[in-house]
Amino acid sequence: MNHLALELNSVLDGTVAGRLLSNLGRRLYFPRGIIAQSAEAKKSAHTADATIGMAYSGGTPLIFSVIAENMPGLSPSEAVAYAPTAGVEKARTVWKELIIQKNPSLDPGGISLPVVVPGLTAGLSYTADLFVSKGGRVLASDPCWDNYELIFGVRRGAELAGIPFFANPEADGPGSGLDMDAIEKALAQAAASGSVRVIFNFPNNPSGYSPTRAEARALAALVHKTAEGGADVLVICDDAYFGLFYEEDIIQESLFGRFASLHERVLAVKIDGPIKEDYTWGLRTGFLTFGSKGLDGGHYDALIRKLTGAIRSSVSSSNTPAQFLMLKTAEDSRTPGEKERYRSLMRSRYNRVKAIVGENADHPVLIPLPFNSGYFMSFFCRGVNAETLRRHLLSAHGIGTIALGERYLRIAFSSIDEEKIPDIYRTIYRAAEKLSK
């Protein structure tokens, strides 16, 4: 094993992070090669910096006119220069400030500086690299985002174990919240191995559900109980849709704030970014932040060096102009108003869907999973195959939906103009009932 990896492991040994590291995570390190030496040169090479493979003229990166003309608000350095492996320092600092601002109960001194990753999917994948080994087990909601299976199952060779987050729709009908008993049972079973790895994705994809304040306290209590019992717990907070909350009783902060200071045996990883929050899907800029009651700055530095080793060995660094566009978005006075306007647009669509679903609460085929936030809502399909329904809606009615397995149909109301929602849902309900006969 490389001596740099051994050095980082020695820093982390004895901590929850050290115990949770995967085989790959223990081998990862950030090399003291071109990138590290270039970073040193950037600080001290006053005469000439001949370290990085970029072309400059007069201290400015060379740039084609067409690129400069189409990025008028960015300088050449912001548009085409390499970003540091961990991300543009100001972008990292500003995003941490935004996390603290949006999560006022969070202890600012108890978390790491966020690291920039090329999208939230990459953040999840790097987390898997660090903490999930072949044959391991990762708990997630059932149903969950289908990419989790690729990330944790296919790429890392782990078992993605589904927790029935909601009561059985087929037996019990529409539910009103999380099935805390099922979550507690899944955590207890996983804890028997000595460690637990669990994903909390809220607002949830595909259900569109976020915990109430009472449920958030209960989830924190369950994780605390698991840690108190002697198990190390990795809690991955997939906060892709953070902020899109439509009901008053929903917790308005990320669960990361609770988990980051919960227990010495709990390591929380927050994966978020402007992709969904700030409507910048194609910019592919995300952030990964660590938090644990048992870690200090030295531990976080070691974890970040391992993480940047994973980044360096895969994509080298994240998109530079996207990071500067994120910064300009954060600094522009128009952003808060526009963000609230877009959130109101999403809330209005949600309310329209909520009303229609309520009017069809006794539908014999489509049973809604609880939803109160985010981009989506999902139906449990009783008496009809979800994929069959999806194909019929697409071919016969030109309506695109997502089938998750045989039982669940996801509808992204975020992408439907509000005036079209009633007709679309009416068609979906009728088609489902027709196919079930």
Residue 38: the pLDDT is 72
Which H or E run includes 42? helix 34-44
Residue 385: which residues within 8 A CB-CB, separation 6 or more? 406
Residue 169: the pLDDT is 82
Distances (CA, A) of 157 to 18, 24, 132, 135, 138: 20, 12, 9, 6, 11
pLDDT above 90 (res 55): no
Strand ranges of the sheet holding 266-272, from the earlier edge strand across to the other edge: 115-117, 286-291, 266-272, 232-238, 195-201, 137-141, 159-163
- Local structure of residue 234 (DSSP, 8 states): E
Residue 429, number of CB atoms within 10 A of its CB: 19
Whose structure tokens read 């492991």? Answer: 9
**Averaged pLDDT for residues 412-430:** 93
Residue 43: the pLDDT is 76
The domain boundary residue, chosen from 331, 350, 380: 331
Does residue 58 lie in a domain region?
Answer: no
The domain boundary residue, chosen from 288, 311, 331: 331
For the segment 108-157, what is each residue's pLDDT rounded down to a tens digit?
Answer: 999 999 999 999 999 999 999 999 999 999 999 999 999 999 999 999 99
For the segment 245-294, what is each residue's pLDDT rounded down to a tens digit?
Answer: 999 999 999 999 999 999 999 999 999 999 888 888 888 999 999 999 98
| Token couple for 195 | 């460690």
Residues 326, 367, single domain; the answer is no
CATH (domain of 374): 3.90.1150.10
Q: Is the dihedral of CA 203, 170, 390, 162 positive or negative?
A: positive
Residues 147, 259, single domain; the answer is yes
Residue bearing the bigger pLDDT, 90 or 50? 90
| Token couple for 409 | 């149909």
**Averaged pLDDT for residues 400-422:** 92
Does residue 59 lie in a domain region?
Answer: no
Residue 21: the pLDDT is 96
Does residue 357 lie in a domain region?
Answer: yes
Distances (CA, A) of 49 to 40, 58, 62, 111: 10, 12, 15, 34
Does residue 69 lie in a domain region?
Answer: no
pLDDT above 80 (res 302): yes
For the segment 334-354, what is each residue's pLDDT rounded down to a tens digit?
Answer: 888 888 988 998 899 999 999
Determine the structural domain holding residue 416 and report its residue range.
336-435
Residues 239, 128, single domain; the answer is yes
Question: Is omega for the bond preceding 143 within 30 degrees of 0, making it cis?
Answer: yes
Residue 52: the pLDDT is 65
Give, in degrees to the nearest 5, the angle at Cα 300 between 295 and 304: 150
Q: In which band, very low, low, confident or very high, does the pLDDT at 162 lie, cut at 50, 70 and 90?
A: very high
Residues 225, 362, single domain; the answer is no
Q: What is the DSSP string of 187-214?
A: HHHHHTTTEEEEEEESS-TTT----BHH
Residues 142, 285, single domain; the answer is yes
For the segment 310-337, what is each residue's pLDDT rounded down to a tens digit?
Answer: 999 999 999 999 999 999 989 989 888 8
Q: What is the pTM of this model?
A: 0.92
Residue 300: the pLDDT is 98
Average pLDDT of the chain, as a whole number = 92
Residues 360, 428, single domain; the answer is yes
Percent of the chain exceeding pLDDT 70 equals: 94
Residues 142, 162, single domain; the answer is yes
How many domains are there within the chain? 2
Residue 70: the pLDDT is 74
Residues 300, 355, single domain; the answer is no
Residue 428 exposure: Cα atoms within 13 Å on the Cβ side: 28
Cα-based torsion angle of the residue sequence 420, 423, 427, 428 in order, rounded to the nearest 10 degrees: 50
CATH (domain of 325): 3.40.640.10
**C-alpha gyration radius of the chain:** 23
Residue 277: the pLDDT is 87
Residues 170, 147, single domain; the answer is yes
Residue 53: the pLDDT is 62
The domain boundary residue, chosen from 315, 331, 347: 331
**Averaged pLDDT for residues 69-81:** 88
Does residue 66 lie in a domain region?
Answer: no
Residues 14, 159, single domain; the answer is yes
How many whole angstroms separate alpha carbon 387 and alpha carbon 369? 17
Q: In which band, very low, low, confident or very high, does the pLDDT at 34 lie, cut at 50, 70 and 90?
A: low
pLDDT above 60 (res 48): no
Residue 148's nearest CA partner among 200, 220, 211 is 200
Does residue 40 lie in a domain region?
Answer: no
Residue 300's nearest CA partner among 56, 40, 110 is 110
How many whole angstroms separate alpha carbon 217 and alpha carbon 290? 21
**Phi (first) and psi of residue 45, to 5 degrees:** -80, 80
Residues 233, 215, single domain; the answer is yes
Q: What is the DSSP string of 138-190?
A: EEEESS--THHIIIIIITT--EEEEE--S--HHHH-S--S--HHHHHHHHHHH
Residues 355, 227, single domain; the answer is no
Residue type, 253: E
